[in-house]
Amino acid sequence: MMTQEQTLEIHGWKVYAGVDEDGHLDIRVRHRDGTQVHDLAADIATASEWAERFTTSAIEAEYNERTREEV
């Protein structure tokens, strides 16, 4: 059970973050396009910081189509 939860919406992304009673952090992401979310890369730059990069199937399809047209 989450004791605290927050939601952030940015450029079509919805990020849900919650902390349970034991202090564990739960992060969930979704995109308004409704397609599958994929993680692209994790970056653990320091011992005290974590970063992840996400995309969706629709974002990648649009990118691939755009780059094909540029060639």
pLDDT recorded at residue 25 = 95
Instruction: Name the amino acid, one letter, at 10.
Output: I
The burial class, CB within 10 Å (0-12 / 13-18 / 19+), for 13 is middle
Q: Whole domain around residue 64: which residue ranges?
A: 2-70
The structural domain count of the chain equals 1
3-state DSSP call for residue 47?
Answer: coil
pLDDT digits (tens, 9 = 90+) for 8-56: 999 999 999 999 999 999 999 999 999 999 999 888 778 888 889 999 9
Neighbouring C-beta atoms of residue 58, cutoff 10 Å: 15
